[in-house]
Amino acid sequence: MSEITESKKQKAALAPPHNPPLSKGGSGGGVATRDAYGDALLELGKKRKEVVVLDADLSGSTKTAKFAKVFPERFFNMGISEQDLIGTAGGLSLTGKLPFASTFAIFETGRAWEQIRQTISYSNLNVKLVATHSGITVAEDGASHQAIEDIALMRVLPNMAVIVPADGIETKQVIEAIAEFYVRLGRPKVPVIMPDDYKFTIGKAYKFHIGKDANIIAAGLMVSVSLDAMELLKKEGIDAGVINMPTVKPLDHDAVIEAAKASGFIVTAEEHSVIGGLGGAVCESLAENYPASVKRIGIKDTFGCSGPADELMKLYGLTAEDIVKTIKEALKKS
């Protein structure tokens, strides 16, 4: 657990506004995690000469182009060939390089899943898989480009850590972590919610607040949505907590158990299928360690569709109001 003081936690939790309209660019509030990635990668490249970056013709979108512009000799555009992207990154790591391989989440984890399994995971190579444009907030591009299965696909692989940063601050911290990992980033700008002095540790949750009535365990952009839900519930006298779980694997079991003990009721929130992702991981942990009632907020075993990101979040039940409704209904029944 990070050593952030209670007042900082509160400040972070209350920093307005948590949930402005999701926007992919322009002057809207917040920072896109992919932009934070581009900046963090460039900084890391300046510090560590062994960092090399590979992309599959999407460097402008994944923001690896920032690195490419400064370090062209350490950047390899592999063209539209994700399977080759993964294998080449693996080969580079065998010569002592520290490769970051980036493209959209659906192509990285879907198209090249078996290459990741065989070459990266099985051989335990230190290759950083950092994918952007995850979830439904890819928005207008539609279901073909909306990865809602990627956490599940990566979580099942041995040796693979799965990290879903909630904002730009967390993304920058994650990129410097040392591990074989899959990092899931998004397209839209998201509110900055983590404190400036936040220190990311693989496998550690960040507890904004532990509630007595319910606790929301969230990852990615759903963390800020959950903080909004927490505030709404507070006004109605319901004490709901929010835990940011950036590392879906290895999961912070202690934090999950602590939350379950405090409230007896857990809600998971993720911009991913309810099957196999954070919700699945939390349910597995609770079933084995501390059986408790769980409701999973996420994409309910269906595909996404085209539309503005905000509208999609409503359509698929991923808003603060949806979380509030879920918690109130569950508490009414109990």
Is 94 a binding residue for other proteins by CB under 8 A? The answer is yes
Establish whether 231 is a catalytic residue: no
Closest contact distance (angstroms) between CB of 237 and other proteins is 55
Is 79 a binding residue for other proteins by CB under 8 A? The answer is yes
Task: Give φ, ψ of 100 to 5 degrees.
Answer: -110, 125
Q: Which stretch binds other proteins (CB under 8 A): 61-69, 74-82, 178-186, 202-210?
A: 74-82
Three-class DSSP labels, 101-164: EECEHHHHHHHCHHHHHHHHHCCCCCCEEEEECECHHHHHHCHHHCECCHHHHHHCCCCCEEEC
Pairing of strands 128-131, 181-184: parallel
Closest contact distance (angstroms) between CB of 178 and other proteins is 19
Of residues 261-320, which lie at the interface with other proteins (CB under 8 A)?
Answer: none
How far apart are alpha carbons 330 and 323 in whole angstroms? 11
Is 7 a binding residue for other proteins by CB under 8 A? The answer is no
Is 250 a binding residue for other proteins by CB under 8 A? The answer is no
Q: Which stretch binds other proteins (CB under 8 A): 35-43, 59-67, 70-78, 222-230?
A: 70-78
3, 50, 73, 82: the active-site residue:
82
Is 81 a binding residue for other proteins by CB under 8 A? The answer is yes
How far apart are alpha carbons 45 and 53 in whole angstroms? 9
Structure tokens belonging to residue 333: 């029944």
How far apart are alpha carbons 79 and 74 in whole angstroms? 16
Q: Which of 30, 38, 45, 87 binds other proteins (CB under 8 A)?
A: 87
Task: Give φ, ψ of 333 to 5 degrees.
Answer: -70, -30
Instruction: With CB under 8 A as the rule, give the number of residues binding other proteins.
Output: 30
Is 158 a binding residue for other proteins by CB under 8 A? The answer is no
Is 97 a binding residue for other proteins by CB under 8 A? The answer is yes
Is 144 a binding residue for other proteins by CB under 8 A? The answer is no
Angle of helix 33-47 relative to helix 168-175, nearest 10 degrees, comes to: 30
Report the residue number, 100 or 316, with the smaller CB distance to other proteins.
100
* Catalytic residue IDs: 82
- Site residues (vs other proteins, CB under 8 A): 52, 73-74, 76, 78-79, 81, 83-84, 86-97, 99, 114-115, 117-119, 122-124
